[in-house]
Amino acid sequence: MHQNKESNNICKIKELNREIDKYSPSRFSIAPMLDWTDRHCRYFHRLLTKQTLLYTEMVTTGAIIHGKGDYLAYSKEENPIALQLGGSDPQALAYCAQIAQERGYDEINLNVGCPSDRVQNGRFGACLMGDAALVADCVKAMQDVVSVPVTVKTRIGIDEQDSYEFLCDFIDTVVQRSGCNIFTIHARKAWLSGLSPKENREIPPLDYPRVYQLKKDFPQLTIAINGGIKLLEEAKQHLQHVDGVMVGREAYQNPSILAHVDHELFDSSIPVVNPVEVVRTLYPYIEQELSKGAYLGHITRHILGIFQGIPGARQWRRHLSENAHKPGADIPVVEQALAMVTERM
């Protein structure tokens, strides 16, 4: 009798832990994408999903320390939000991480995955995979000055250093020397020369099983997977093997999938949001930003794909693309485009 009661308690604890894990910030996130996931984009995405962790574009330490603009600006409605930093100087990264925490960011992420020449010239991004000790020093320097999680986004390898052993050695070194316990793994290796960033997202083959194996070999770590994921059904399959899923361009080009994330991946009692209502909910934000000098097109470029696959979507995109950039463009432009969808519903 006592054993049965104890067994039932253990089952309840395990079930509770599964529920807690389900709401982990790493369970579903939208990738940091340069020139795409700016603050207008993130505000829009937050209207579609409350549970998803949003990432900034990569921001370099040099931009934060020496730039004239405010590269950390965001709206409080965007939380939970992670700042992705680019850099390789532990002291500069620590300084920027501290500022980010003071500004209210929920996570600091180190970019160890971007393969562009510009990033490599600054000695950060994917080339840092070749110096695991430096990555560990960078992470530890940030962890020493902030209390929010410091995480790493990386690839499964670089150039000819693409064996599973290389990946394990990299992860193990960073973990042992810094204590980092959250990694997002883009399931492709990166070629540091010969391929453009776009080609590096498409040509190196995806190797999801390698990321699954990494989770098996490092069960104590939180491992999220990234790369080529387009459907929430695919995300569900990945979540059978890893702790989290990060979606990139599909979430941007077809943002309507985000309307289903909270319901499908977090809590089935959460209703699926209506995209028409989301657009109209965005109006006060648009008016606020226009009053500050923003251009309508800078905001509406992020919402072009919201009605993908719905009658009137092409007319919606065309009307916004042709009119949102015009001087004085305001809410009526969006409402006119919206009518081209709603009148066909």
Q: Which residues are annotated as a binding site for FMN?
A: 32-34, 84, 153, 186, 226-228, 248-249
Check if the beta carbon of residue 114 is closer than 8 Å to that of residue 139.
no
Extract the tokens encoding 182.
């959250």
Contact status, residue 253 vs residue 307, Cβ threshold 8 Å: no
* Cβ atoms of 46 and 72 closer than 8 Å: no
For the question of residue 41 being annotated catalytic, the response is no
Structure tokens at 312: 């009137």
Residue positions forming the annotated binding site: 32-34, 84, 153, 186, 226-228, 248-249
Q: Round to whole Å and give the CA distance between 261 and 272.
A: 8
- Return d(Cα 166, Cα 237) in angstroms, integer: 26
In sequence order, the 6+-apart residues with CB closer than 8 A to the CB of 188 are: 155, 156, 200, 201, 204, 205, 206, 207, 227
Per residue in 240-269, is it b (16+ CB within 10 Å) or e — as a string?
Answer: ebbbbbbbbebbbebbbbbbebbbbbbeee
Cα torsion at 208, 154, 152, 252 (round to 10°)?
Answer: -80
Q: How many angstroms separate the CA atoms of 143 and 164, rounded?
A: 27
Q: Cα–Cα distance between 193 and 198 in angstroms, integer?
A: 13
Contacts of 202 (CB under 8 A, 6+ apart): none
Percent helix, percent strand, percent coil in the chain, to nearest 5:
50, 15, 35
Residue 330 corresponds to which tokens in the numbers above?
Answer: 């305001």
CA angle 104, 22, 202 (to 5 degrees): 80
Active-site choice (11, 41, 96, 114): 114
Contact in structure between 46 and 78 (CB atoms under 8 Å): yes
- Catalogue the active-site residues: 114
